[in-house]
Amino acid sequence: MMMYAISSRTSSCCLDSVIFSLSNLGLARQITAKSPPFMREAAYPQASTTRCDNEHVDEHTPLLPEDDIAHSQIKGLKWSSRTICAVVAVVVFLISMSDQLIEPAQTRIFESIICYEYWEHKDSSKIRIGRNDIFPGAIGGVDETWCKENDIQSRVATLRGWQQLFDGIPSVLLAVPFGWASDRFGRKPFVILGLLSFASKIIWVQLVCWFWERLDIRLTWLSALSGLLGGGSPVLTSLFYVVVSDVVSASHRAALFLRMAAIHKSASLLAPPICAVLMKRNPWIPLFIGTILSSLSILSWVFVPETLESDGSIQSSAASDQSSYNSGQNGHVSNQKDTPGMCNRIVAATSFLHKDWRIATLIAPFAIHMLGNKLSLLLLQYSSKRYELLLDKATLLLTIRAAVTALTMFIIIPFISKMMTKNFSIEAQRKDLYIARASALITSLGWLFVAISPNLIAFSLSLVICTLGAGCMIVLRSYLTSLVPTQNVARLFTLTSVVDILGNMGGQPLLAMLFKKGMALGDGWIGLPFLFVSVAFAITFVLLCAIRQSRSREDSIDGS
């Protein structure tokens, strides 16, 4: 575990410079000069009319209302928006199920291989089956009870820790370029590349484990190279959100985002018990099933039409946009005739960040988002130690948390969203902002109560409270989408993915350090990491409250 903390901490430090470099990549010119008015006004939707602002959605409403379907044929094909959203939902479920089935089984196989090699050198009497007769992955070679030695578990943790570091590097390096490319060339090819990347990573790891006698288990680290194909899972996740944004109206976007997250949570509820049953027979069974599900996700997407709205003028509009840019906003770029074209492209491609300060400001909280998402294992340790729970009962608390999260995203927030639209006639963008504010406040208070809960009952109630705010970042993502033009949505989402990745890679060692510090201080300080998360979400709440709605293009932070 120490090696894992070191590796994650190293990644957090090094990748700060990487993200700075990413923000200065030579991205494409913004294509707005010849865009239709609705695309140019997309960054400031309050100045234009949203087609579906008066429609309502609740937990019983289909993914897309009937009256939207008639107006939502994509690029002349016979695919309605509702059909595309349904395919996205199916693919998200398949990928989530695949991941949830594979992770525990893969960890068990890693443990089995490392355990076999450990006892083979230290005490061969623990070996039950020789190398010539053993099942792939060293399954059954050593009784599992002998695999809980500290040295073995440390090696497993080190293997997984370095894997997370290596997996994050391609995602950070390629998130923004892939976002630009999907804005320029379309979503479909990059979604397929992302799905192929996910499947190829699974297959490579399985090949190394299958032939473990001839291949070093550390060769599984090379699976990170699959991220070069599609940018990794964070990029793929962002592209799913982009596709949904392409085909639904602003008034329904947040509800669809929430349901996508709820579908993922549903897989988190279903897959672990299924995996546990299958692993009793052989951990390779859930691995193979997960691989099949991953392959099915690729096949499901092959026939999906392109959702990026574009026409034949894209190439010419790019040139026109560059020309208008050079003659320029603020008048200073056109005078720099010796400035390389790359610099112009950099400024043009990232201009949507500095044209509206709300965008850059509200991207930052996504690092906190990952801190909140990665608290499950820490909650397990915390509840077990502070309230003297057995691990099986502590695990039940996490299952309840997942169930409440799914309930929140499937029913509670969509219901509130409907009421705000129907009873108070609140427009989509303002509604998203209000819900994000409330969710951030609830989450902050919930984690504060978790940190100071004196007993198990108070802890359980506090956990439910903070989970009720689980939709905060999903709704915030929808709000951010309304602030940028259509052609910049993928770039926006991949930037949030980069922040997610950095938060993921740096958040766990930070929380572990705070947990260790809290135990050293004693008494109630053991909840220190949750107090930190509470403060972080409180800051997010303040930022959201500082955002003011205005019909002018100069919308910004209050006072700026």
Task: Please tell me the distance from the alpha carbon of residue 354 to that of residue 239, in angstroms, as a whole number.
Answer: 23
Write down the pTM of the prediction.
0.60
Q: Mean pLDDT lowest for which of 33-47, 184-198, 424-438, 477-491?
A: 33-47
Task: Please tell me the distance from the alpha carbon of residue 83 to that of residue 81, in angstroms, as a whole number.
Answer: 5
Asked if residue 75 has pLDDT above 60, the reply is no
In the structure, what pLDDT confidence band is assigned to residue 307 with cuts at 50, 70 and 90? confident
pLDDT given for residue 438 in this prediction: 94
What is the per-residue pLDDT across 169-198, written as a single tens digit (0 to 9) for each? 888 888 778 878 888 888 889 999 999 999
Q: What is the mean pLDDT of the chain?
A: 73
Q: Which residue has the tokens 């993914």?
A: 63
What is the per-residue pLDDT across 276-285, written as a single tens digit (0 to 9) for each? 788 888 889 9
Residue 178 CB burial class (10 angstroms; 0-12, 13-18, ≥19): buried
| Domain regions of the chain by residue span | 1-24+350-560, 78-308
Q: What is the CA radius of gyration of the chain?
A: 25
Q: Which residue has the tokens 């080190």?
A: 158
Task: Please tell me the distance from the alpha carbon of residue 131 to that of residue 221, in angstroms, as a whole number.
Answer: 24
The Cα-based distances of 328 to 36, 325, 353, 486, 553 in angstroms read 20, 4, 17, 22, 18
Asked if residue 142 has pLDDT above 80, the reply is yes
pLDDT given for residue 223 in this prediction: 92
Q: Is the dihedral of CA 323, 326, 328, 334 positive or negative?
A: negative
Mean pLDDT on 521-535: 87
pLDDT given for residue 144 in this prediction: 79
pLDDT given for residue 341 in this prediction: 54
Task: Please tell me the distance from the alpha carbon of residue 140 to that of residue 200, in angstroms, as a whole number.
Answer: 27
CATH code 1.10.10.60 for 1-24+350-560:
no
Beta-bridge mates of residue 557? 547
Beta-bridge mates of residue 135? 139
What is the per-residue pLDDT across 351-376, written as a single tens digit (0 to 9) for each? 677 777 888 888 888 887 766 666 77
Token couple for 329: 């906003």
Beta-bridge mates of residue 139? 135
Coil/strand/helix, residue 408: helix
553 versus 149: which is more confidently predicted?
A: 149
pLDDT given for residue 345 in this prediction: 57
pLDDT given for residue 462 in this prediction: 92
511 versus 141: which is more confidently predicted?
A: 141
Degrees (nearest 5) of the Cα angle 476, 481, 485? 160
Helix (H) or strand (E) holding 191: helix 188-210
Q: Mean pLDDT lowest for which of 226-240, 323-337, 338-352, 425-439?
A: 323-337
What is the per-residue pLDDT across 200-251, written as a single tens digit (0 to 9) for each? 999 999 999 999 888 999 999 999 999 898 888 778 888 888 888 888 887 7
In the structure, what pLDDT confidence band is assigned to residue 541 with cuts at 50, 70 and 90? very high
Identity of the amino acid at 118: Y
Q: Mean pLDDT lowest for which of 112-126, 339-353, 459-473, 539-553?
A: 339-353
Same fold for the domain at 1-24+350-560 and the one at 78-308?
yes
- Nearest CA to 48 out of 485, 359, 558 is that of 485
CATH class of 78-308: mainly alpha
